[in-house]
Amino acid sequence: MDKLIVEGGVPLRGAVEVSGSKNSLLPILAATLLTRERCVLKNAPDLRDTVSMLKLLRYLGVAYEFKDHTISLRPNGLERYEAPYKLVATMRASFCVLGPLLARYRKARVSLPGGCIIGVRPVDLHLKGLSKLGAGIQIKEGYVIAEARRLRGAHIYLGGSFGSSVLATGNVMMAATLASGTTVIENAACEPEVVDLARFLMKMGAKIKGEGSPYLEITGVKELHGAEYEVIPDRIEAATLIMAAGVTRGEVLVKKARAEHMMAVLEKLQDAGMNFKIMRDAVLVKKTSRRFKPTDVVTLPYPGFPTDVQAQFMTLMSVSDGISVITEKIYPDRFMHVAELNRMGAQVKREGPYAVVHGIRCLSGAPVMASDLRASAALVLAGLVARGKTEVSRIYHLDRGYERLEEKLKALGAKIERVKE
């Protein structure tokens, strides 16, 4: 098992390029199950989650080649309609094969994804949407068993306790592309990753209107064909790199950072006093001489402040000049990083879905342990700004969603090394 050793206090300088979006690629990979023809996906990030999804597709009978950030898939040899627990348990996004398998085979058996360290994430919206399309659904021995003699278009409301669901919207949208008639999804997720999936499906021949809005209209077609598509850059990685530059008082050009996908984050960073310039497909972070100003944040579905940036933003506020309140409205239990930041001297107190952050002048290096993907990134940022050395363990979480993050940071001048524990 690897860990990262970070020595703080070095301002980052130079240019860095954002990788393709993990949260776009995984459902798009699942969508290739809807056709028998070859698909080519470009700008694919080389991540643990990418490999996990490809293992599942191979198990189902998809042949593929992954080279130089391009994945070529041939799904004409599908042999199974079951996604077993051992493959789904490693990554929640694997559950996205349920809709495509049901649409192609009219039956599917997919393991429930299980628990998650950042809180309960039920699949009820997935099942509600698919049952509205005409699927009979049972849950037996930890598996969702779905069958349908014919999928029919329907009017579906996909609202949940914490708003819309990205994966549920994707699952239902994929199944609806091959359903007879027209499907309307109300309260659909509006995230750029959902738009990306919709546009890939449209390149395959799907008829979709309203992508990027809460109202999706899908007119079913008889079949989909293969397509070539380039995945959008990862807005969460872009935000993380921007904050890494800002928190170290560096000057970095973050290439392929699409400002239109993260305006809520950029606005809060501006409120905090970060100095940057929005450019075409890039953000130029300039040196910030003063301490950050305290800034309150509430996580919300897109276009609100993303929950996937909450932990990284907390690191920034931990060295701000005042008191900030961070409210987590998507996953109220997503505060596992608080204890580890406090080990580094941060003064953060959690009260239910709120975290009260008392900013201090400087963090101190310490051994810390990552609990999840975004917490890993937050601890790396903390290590970059802390005095002394920080050891971040369990970075396999980091490798799930950031492509060689330590190499990108090292190229910007960071003192960071990956070592075996």
Specify the CATH number for the domain of residue 52. 3.65.10.10
Q: Cβ of 242: how many Cβ atoms within 10 Å?
A: 27
Q: Could you tell me if residue 78 is inside a domain?
A: yes
SS3 call for 385: helix
Which of 194, 221, 248 is the last residue before a domain boundary?
221
pLDDT tens, 86-116? 998 888 889 999 999 999 999 999 999 854 5
β partners of residue 3: 419
SS3 call for 207: strand
- Indicate whether 196 and 243 sit together in one domain: no
**273-306 residues labelled b (16+ CB within 10 A) or e (exposed):** bbbbeeeeebbbbeebeebbebbebbbbbbebbb
Quote the pLDDT of residue 121: 56
Q: How far apart (Å, rounded) are the C-alpha atoms in residues 63 and 39?
A: 11
- Give, in order, the Cα–Cα distances in Å from 7 to each of 286, 304, 364: 22, 33, 10
- Indicate whether 210 and 319 sit together in one domain: no
Asked if residues 408 and 382 have their Cβ atoms less than 8 Å apart, the reply is no
362 catalytically annotated: no
- Catalytic residue selected from 39, 116, 190, 362: 116
- Indicate whether 319 and 368 sit together in one domain: yes
Strands of the 70-74 sheet, one edge to the other: 63-67, 70-74, 39-42, 228-230
- Scan for tokens 């950042």, then name that residue: 118
List the Cα angle 305/307/310 in 5-degree steps.
85
Q: Could you tell me if residue 312 is inside a domain?
A: yes
- Indicate whether 170 and 296 sit together in one domain: no
- Indicate whether 154 and 242 sit together in one domain: no
Asked if residues 5 and 417 have their Cβ atoms less than 8 Å apart, the reply is yes
Residues of the chain short of pLDDT 50, as ranges, are 115, 118-120
Asked if residues 19 and 233 have their Cβ atoms less than 8 Å apart, the reply is yes
Q: Could you tell me if residue 83 is inside a domain?
A: yes
Q: Could you tell me if residue 34 is inside a domain?
A: yes
- Indicate whether 273 and 245 sit together in one domain: yes
Quote the pLDDT of residue 101: 96
User: Would you tell me the crossing angle of helices 166-176 and 124-132 to the nearest 10 degrees?
Assistant: 20
Q: How far apart (Å, rounded) are the C-alpha atoms in residues 294 and 262?
A: 20
- Indicate whether 130 and 141 sit together in one domain: yes
Asked if residues 197 and 173 have their Cβ atoms less than 8 Å apart, the reply is yes
Positions of E strands within 50-205: 63-67, 70-74, 82-83, 107-111, 136-140, 143-147, 155-157, 182-186
- Indicate whether 110 and 137 sit together in one domain: yes
Q: How far apart (Å, rounded) are the C-alpha atoms in residues 108 and 130?
A: 11
Domain range holding 240? Answer: 2-19+234-420
Q: Could you tell me if residue 228 is inside a domain?
A: no
- Indicate whether 214 and 247 sit together in one domain: no
Q: Could you tell me if residue 344 is inside a domain?
A: yes
Q: How far apart (Å, rounded) are the C-alpha atoms in residues 111 and 389?
A: 42
Asked if residues 350 and 327 have their Cβ atoms less than 8 Å apart, the reply is no
Peptide bond into 27 cis (omega under 30): no
**89-120 residues labelled b (16+ CB within 10 A) or e (exposed):** bbbbbbbbbbbbbbbbbbbbbbbbbeeeebbe
Q: How far apart (Å, rounded) are the C-alpha atoms in residues 239 and 257?
A: 8
- Indicate whether 65 and 7 sit together in one domain: no
Instruction: State the DSSP H helix or E strand holding residue 171, giving kind and residue range, or none if neither.
Output: helix 166-176
- Indicate whether 213 and 82 sit together in one domain: yes
Quote the pLDDT of residue 283: 98
Q: Could you tell me if residue 227 is inside a domain?
A: no
- Indicate whether 241 and 331 sit together in one domain: yes
Q: Could you tell me if residue 198 is inside a domain?
A: yes
Nearest Cα to Cα of residue 414 among 2, 11, 81, 1: 11
- Give, in order, the Cα–Cα distances in Å from 324 to each of 75, 251, 295, 329, 350: 50, 25, 5, 16, 12
Q: Cβ of 349: how many Cβ atoms within 10 Å?
A: 11
Which of 163, 194, 221 is the last residue before a domain boundary?
221
Q: How many domains does the chain have?
A: 2
Which of 170, 186, 221 is the last residue before a domain boundary?
221
